[in-house]
Chains A and B, each alone.
Chain A
Amino acid sequence: MKLPTDPSTDNNVVIGIENASVKYFVPRERVGTFKEYAIRKIQRRIINDAFWALSDISFEVKKGEIFGLIGANGAGKSTLLKLVARVLRPSEGRVWVRGRVAPLLAMGAGFHMELSGRENVFLNGTLLGYSQKQILERFDAIVEFAELQDFIDAPMRTYSSGMVARLGFSVATDQMPDVLIVDEALSVGDTAFQKKSIDRIREFQKNGATTLYVTHSMGEIEKTCDRAAWLDHGHLRFVGGPKEAVDLYLDRKPAAA
């Protein structure tokens, strides 16, 4: 259903996916050299198998919604998240996002174990698109949330994996984003920190952040999501209430697998 006006001008719609498709080319034979490529191109022997990771997906996510994505492995959930996080541009169709996206899937991206926690906060923060100045202003709060005040100048290789994850989460969620991308269950640090991180996400949601939530736990989807979409082999099978989506997905699962 198309609205008469362009939905991207409607402030209540935060994410718009319009007939988006993602096509990967899987070469049938490896063509590694330029010479080989040129010869084959002339002979028209370049054969690529097109693999549609997503085909013709359309839906919208409204402001403040917790939107679940379900589907078997390889259904295209991660590819869809990449479109929203602008890691990939759709091969066809259009994707638009209003506001800043915090991709929790990129938590701790670029962390380097030889560097200190302090250096890594700046490296990771600038990678997430913050300026040096913004990080400087927020530095103490970031470290405090991660509870790493005493270790921040030690090399990261001395950290436990929980400490690394805490710091990653703290940097990624310091500023409230407009869109949160949460991939799988958030298992960051020990139970106490897990509660703290979930509380922070809840607070974002209360303040109007939109969440895209991917998990294999159907109970989670039914419990937390306002709406959900079911993806199956790159096709959008259903968008609507989370309960219906889960029911449909579970019934059809044997056929899809």
Chain B
Amino acid sequence: MTKDTSVPFYDSAKQSTAWLDELQQTLRYKDLILHLVKRDVTSRYKRSILGVAWTMLNPLGMMIILTVIFSQLFGAVEGYAAYILSGLVMWNFFAQSTVSGINSVVWGGDLFRKIYFPRSIFAISAIGTGIVNLLISMVPFIAVSIFIGKLPTINFILVVIPILLLSMFTLGLTLIIASLGVRFPDIVEMYNNILLTAWMYLTPIIYPMDVLPAWVASLMKFNPMFHLLKLFRDPIYYGEPLYPQLLGICTFISVVTLVLGWIIFSRMTDEIAYRS
């Protein structure tokens, strides 16, 4: 039975800057993130026979349905199946990570009542699980691309950068909505049921940009997911490098959202304890 030589000292009155405190604690608990992700991934697959295959079958099934329905309408898009699939894979990551992250922070009360650990860990691990699923669903994407004769180019590996930026944006948004949701649970419902669906249709996931009337297309620049989706599709669907201007826009969006989310959330952590 060994003991740490350094004696930690907790003082409720000494609250250093909230965001810094939360960050330091999160780094201290970083191994917990890994195990929470492992728990989420393995427990999901242990229950079903097809297991990990579901992560691939879900977007694949949606892709087949949408391709059959819309290929007449948007037939002009080259490799339409891969176009949809790239959009769906990315959107699923975003939607699932935010929803599960928000829910575990807002409704994850039982653990919060019992034990201290930095609350942001739940949101971060939800993103981590999302990244694992996203990487798994890249397998059917590559398969479909090859099948329809759109071979991936060397630029494909650049996809890690959009994934990173998207994860930062997703975490920031999760933290913002979770902070609001602790006080107003209806905001969570609104996000899950209305906002997310509307947002999906306002983002060019299943339709190409050029079917939009000019005035709608010009409004698209205010949709952060439009830029992030473009950055994601460039290397994997268009087979192109990352363009500096778009990369700059996406980095800006992601960093601002994450910093904002982190600051708001770390101010709310005490309140989460009181309300859970």
Contact = CB atoms under 8 A, between A and B. Distances in A.
**Interaction A to B:** yes
B26 to A, nearest CB: 12
A119 B114 contact: no
B150 interface: no
Contact of B10 (A32, A37, A96): A96
B150 to A, nearest CB: 39
B263 to A, nearest CB: 18
Contacts of B35: 119, 122-123, 126
B58 to A, nearest CB: 20
Contact of A34 (B1, B42, B184): B184
Contacts of B43: 112, 114-115
Contacts of B210: none
Interface in B16-48: 28-29, 31-32, 34-36, 38-39, 42-43, 46-47
Contact of B11 (A94, A103, A109, A174): A94
Contacts, number: 116
A132 B31 contact: yes
B115 A85 contact: yes
Given A109-B114, A114-B46, A100 B4 contact: yes
Contacts of B274: 24-25, 88
B52 interface: no
Given A8-B9, A94-B12, 14 more contacts: A86-B12, A88-B273, A89-B15, A90-B12, A96-B9, A96-B12, A100-B7, A114-B43, A114-B47, A126-B29, A129-B28, A129-B29, A175-B3, A176-B1
24 contacts: A20-B12, A31-B184, A33-B186, A34-B180, A85-B115, A86-B12, A87-B115, A88-B274, A94-B12, A96-B11, A96-B13, A100-B4, A100-B7, A100-B8, A101-B10, A103-B115, A109-B114, A114-B46, A115-B39, A115-B42, A119-B39, A126-B35, A129-B117, A178-B7
Interface of B: 1-4, 7-13, 15, 28-29, 31-32, 34-36, 38-39, 42-43, 46-47, 111-117, 180, 183-187, 270, 273-274
A95 B12 contact: yes
A47 B187 CA distance: 21
Q: Is the interface of B mostly helix, strand, loop or mixed?
A: helix
Interface string A128-144: 11111000000000000
Q: Which of B1, B9, B113, B187 has the most CB of A within 10 A?
A: B1
Interface in A174-230: 174-176, 178
Given A85-B116, A174-B1, A110 B111 contact: yes
Contacts of A122: 35
Interface of A: 8, 20, 24-25, 31-34, 37, 82-83, 85-90, 94-101, 103, 105-106, 109-110, 112, 114-115, 119, 122-123, 126-132, 155, 174-176, 178
Q: Which of A31, A96, A126, A128 has the most CB of B within 10 A?
A: A126
A137 to B, nearest CB: 9
Given A85-B116, A86-B10, A94-B11, A34 B187 contact: yes
B7 A99 contact: yes
CB-based closest 10 A-B pairs: A106-B115, A126-B32, A94-B13, A132-B31, A96-B11, A114-B43, A106-B114, A95-B12, A86-B116, A123-B35
Nearest to B43: A114
